[in-house]
A and B are shown apart, each in its own frame.
Chain A
Amino acid sequence: MSKIQDIQDEIVAEFSFFEDWMQRYEHMIELGKSLPLIQPKHKTEDNIIKGCQSKVWIHAALDKDQLVFTADSDAIITKGIIALLIRVFSHQPPAEILAADTSFIDEIGLKEHLSPTRANGLLSMIKQMKLYAIAFQTQLN
């Protein structure tokens, strides 16, 4: 089992303790506070994930053979979502990131954020992180 899968299982187990949506959202809001923040110089127009409502910036850099993500958003719930994604994908080899599935989002009751019309663009965030993985994988090769 990959390390990414282990982290996802850990998150699913963590969320299984919550009894209702409020506790889940409160947890996400907490998670948002621990988000590894993007450096101001990387908060550029180019690094904005295009979504309709909240702004999301994601930056990636290679540390030896692992990809390290930093990010930010102007919305708190969105920050929590990115924090979860970063926990799963950051400090992992690009090849593992590319191969990973993201079914855990469904399992922790955040399925509504997966809809392509959803303004936070969770799908776009995952896509952007995988695009970074492709780019850096090419570099590693």
Chain B
Amino acid sequence: MKERVAEIRADFPILSREVNGSPLVYLDNAATSQTPQAVIDVIADYYSRYNANIHRGVHALSQEATDAYEKARKTIQAHFSAAHAHEVILTSGTTHSINIVASGYSTLLKAGDELLISALEHHSNIVPWQMLCQKTGAQLKVIPMLPDGTLDMEAFAHLLSERTQLVFVNQVSNALGTVNPIPTIIAQAHAVGAKVLVDGAQAAPHIATDVQVLDIDYYVTSAHKLCGPTGVGMLYGKTELLRALPPYQGGGEMIATVTFEKTIYADLPHKFEAGTPNIAGGIAFGAALDYMNGIGLEAIAAYEQELLQYATEQLKGIEGLRIFGEAPEKTAVISFLVGAIHPYDMGSILDKMGIAVRTGHHCAQPIMDFFQIPGTIRASFSFYNTFEEVDRLVAGVKKAQMMLE
């Protein structure tokens, strides 16, 4: 893999640009991944050759677009090993997917029911459930976090009960990179009859997930973390669960018959796909998975772990640098602070050197509150990053430290 990185980088036009006079070092992959030419071409090709509305037209362009869109759904199905293509709902992204489930449960839950959520969640996986609890009278309980950034699994076991209807947990924490023990969480949740929604937004680019082997009830992720475009993502759900869930939005495409007295909803997946979807985005989502599978998720994960280990060692050599989240199992994400330097100051100086990192609370304020810090600097690596880029980050942090301390 290390030998192939130069070749892989050539697939990404953006990686050869300069920022503020220096070659770009892109280390904000946990926010969004970059897009290879192959995926950009698919989007351009769609608009150049067969742009048409899908599922309804009898003309050739509409057929071609429908075929390409449905083929992408099958690619996504195969990638996550779903039993059926209709279990893959194409959405605008992870947040949309979560909201479909949360909104559906607002009719299924009653007062006294409980929802468990992990302390490691992104705001997008906290707010919809708070809204749901306000509507239904159900109670939201939090699985606490331990100082190393892992979940307190003992507390989790105690929180589970017959009242627990749903457990929501991210497969990987966006702020810390912690890989959560999904198989254990699912086994224990199922034992009390609770369903589990796994937020795979941060995990999908690094970990191959088989939703059937893991017995996942709902799985959500976004294409733009997987070398695909923004504005498209997926909701996987087991057939019987998705059938039981009421539709989220009303509109065209999600109906079978409409009269003014009664509307019969379309079957899966269309029940949840009201309106004209992001057609080019869906097709490109499939192309992005093809691209990543061409390299191989295992090779990607192994190389990223090497980068993570090297970067962790190098950064730890900097005086006063503290890393937040040191779970034994992590994806290539390093959240850190240097001395008393504000993350915003560090991020601004690194930006002047062409190094893109994220600073702030990473939409996970409860985690920052736990550590009693305003935020962190987060470097997140992808398979197209290099060891030289790690060196540039380390040199950049040292230079910024000299300026700011």
Question: Which residues of A line the B interface, CB within 8 A?
Answer: 21-22, 25-26, 29, 52-55, 74-78, 112, 119-120
Q: Does B360 contact A (CB under 8 A)?
A: yes
How large, as a class, is the contact surface on chain B?
10 to 19
Do residues A119 and B352 form an inter-chain contact, with CB atoms below 8 A? Answer: no
Do residues B403 and A22 form an inter-chain contact, with CB atoms below 8 A? Answer: yes
Q: Contacts A26-B403, A52-B360, A53-B359: A77 and B348 contacting too (C-beta < 8 A)?
A: yes
A25-B349, A53-B360 given; 16 more Cβ-contact pairs under 8 Å: A25-B348, A52-B360, A53-B375, A54-B344, A54-B374, A55-B374, A74-B342, A74-B374, A75-B342, A75-B344, A75-B345, A77-B345, A78-B344, A78-B345, A119-B344, A119-B360
Q: List 28 A-B contacts (CB under 8 A).
A: A21-B352, A22-B352, A25-B348, A25-B352, A26-B403, A29-B403, A52-B360, A53-B344, A53-B374, A53-B375, A54-B345, A55-B374, A74-B374, A75-B342, A75-B344, A75-B345, A76-B341, A76-B345, A77-B344, A77-B345, A77-B348, A77-B349, A78-B344, A112-B351, A119-B344, A119-B359, A119-B360, A120-B344
Do residues A76 and B342 form an inter-chain contact, with CB atoms below 8 A? Answer: yes
Q: Does B93 contact A (CB under 8 A)?
A: no
Min Cβ gap B398→A in Å is 14
Min Cβ gap A36→B in Å is 20
Q: Does B343 contact A (CB under 8 A)?
A: yes
Do residues A76 and B352 form an inter-chain contact, with CB atoms below 8 A? Answer: no
**A26 vs B404: C-alpha distance in the bound complex, in angstroms?**
8
Question: Which residues of B line the A interface, CB within 8 A?
Answer: 20, 341-345, 348-349, 351-352, 359-360, 374-375, 403-404
Q: Which residue of chain A is the closest to B342 with respect to CB atoms?
A: A75
Do residues B343 and A53 form an inter-chain contact, with CB atoms below 8 A? Answer: yes
Among B341, B342, B348, B404: residue with most chain A CB under 10 A = B348
Q: Chain B residues with Cβ under 8 A from A75's Cβ? A: 342, 344-345
Do residues B344 and A29 form an inter-chain contact, with CB atoms below 8 A? Answer: no
Q: Chain B residues with Cβ under 8 A from A55's Cβ? A: 374
**A130 vs B349: C-alpha distance in the bound complex, in angstroms?**
29
Q: Chain A residues with Cβ under 8 A from B342's Cβ? A: 54, 74-76, 78
Min Cβ gap A76→B in Å is 5
**A120 vs B360: C-alpha distance in the bound complex, in angstroms?**
11
Among A22, A55, A75, A119: residue with most chain B CB under 10 A = A75
Min Cβ gap A43→B in Å is 15
Min Cβ gap A80→B in Å is 10
**A120 vs B359: C-alpha distance in the bound complex, in angstroms?**
12
Which 8 A-B pairs give the minimum distances between C-beta atoms? A75-B342, A53-B344, A54-B344, A75-B344, A21-B352, A53-B360, A75-B345, A77-B345
Min Cβ gap B248→A in Å is 29
Q: Chain A residues with Cβ under 8 A from B403's Cβ? A: 22, 25-26, 29
**A76 vs B349: C-alpha distance in the bound complex, in angstroms?**
11
**A119 vs B404: C-alpha distance in the bound complex, in angstroms?**
19
**A112 vs B360: C-alpha distance in the bound complex, in angstroms?**
18
**A73 vs B172: C-alpha distance in the bound complex, in angstroms?**
33
Q: Contacts A21-B20, A54-B342: A76 and B404 contacting too (C-beta < 8 A)?
A: yes
**A53 vs B341: C-alpha distance in the bound complex, in angstroms?**
13
Min Cβ gap B355→A in Å is 13
Q: Chain B residues with Cβ under 8 A from A78's Cβ? A: 342, 344-345
Q: Which residue of chain A is the closest to B400 with respect to CB atoms?
A: A25
**A29 vs B341: C-alpha distance in the bound complex, in angstroms?**
12
Q: Which residue of chain A is the closest to B352 with respect to CB atoms?
A: A21
Do residues B359 and A29 form an inter-chain contact, with CB atoms below 8 A? Answer: no
**A78 vs B341: C-alpha distance in the bound complex, in angstroms?**
12
Q: Chain B residues with Cβ under 8 A from A76's Cβ? A: 341-342, 345, 404
Q: Chain B residues with Cβ under 8 A from A25's Cβ? A: 348-349, 352, 403
**A29 vs B348: C-alpha distance in the bound complex, in angstroms?**
12
**A30 vs B351: C-alpha distance in the bound complex, in angstroms?**
20
Min Cβ gap B360→A in Å is 5
Q: Chain A residues with Cβ under 8 A from B359's Cβ? A: 53, 119
Q: Which residue of chain A is the closest to B20 with respect to CB atoms?
A: A21
Q: Chain B residues with Cβ under 8 A from A54's Cβ? A: 342, 344-345, 374
**A54 vs B345: C-alpha distance in the bound complex, in angstroms?**
9
**A101 vs B55: C-alpha distance in the bound complex, in angstroms?**
54
Q: Which residue of chain B is the closest to A112 with respect to CB atoms?
A: B351
Min Cβ gap A114→B in Å is 14
**A78 vs B403: C-alpha distance in the bound complex, in angstroms?**
14
**A54 vs B374: C-alpha distance in the bound complex, in angstroms?**
8
**A10 vs B249: C-alpha distance in the bound complex, in angstroms?**
58
Q: Contacts A76-B345, A78-B344: A29 and B352 contacting too (C-beta < 8 A)?
A: no
**A77 vs B343: C-alpha distance in the bound complex, in angstroms?**
11
**A63 vs B20: C-alpha distance in the bound complex, in angstroms?**
42
Min Cβ gap A112→B in Å is 8
**A52 vs B375: C-alpha distance in the bound complex, in angstroms?**
10
Min Cβ gap A101→B in Å is 25
